[in-house]
Amino acid sequence: MTIKFEKETRRLKTMIRLSGRLQSKHLDELKTQMEGTRSRIALDLNGVTLVDVEIIRFLNACEKGGVELLNCWPYIQEWMIREKGRKG
């Protein structure tokens, strides 16, 4: 299964729903989906089944930049916390 993007914009928020295996090779497409959005961005990760370390780093950067991460699986949250700890 590949990754699927669903983008929905409502007034002050743009929701991007992700489904499937989100890997570093999908970063360019995800960034394109996020570009040009004037409203606040939220990533719904409920349908994400697998990630790699580059995605974890990207999600940490997104979160730091104010992107809301919704329905993030516990294993992804834990990996994000561990990765933040590695950077000091």
Cα(85)–Cα(5) distance, integer angstroms: 29
| Number of separate domains in the chain | 1
Residues 23/50, Cβ–Cβ less than 8 Å: yes
pTM recorded for the entire structure: 0.91
What is the three-class DSSP state of 13? strand
Domain of 81 in residue numbering reads as 4-86
CATH number of the domain that residue 35 is part of:
3.30.750.24
| pLDDT value at residue 38 | 81
| pLDDT value at residue 57 | 97
Whether residue 11 has pLDDT greater than 90: no
Whether residue 88 has pLDDT greater than 60: no
| pLDDT value at residue 30 | 95
DSSP annotation of 26 reads: G
| pLDDT value at residue 46 | 96
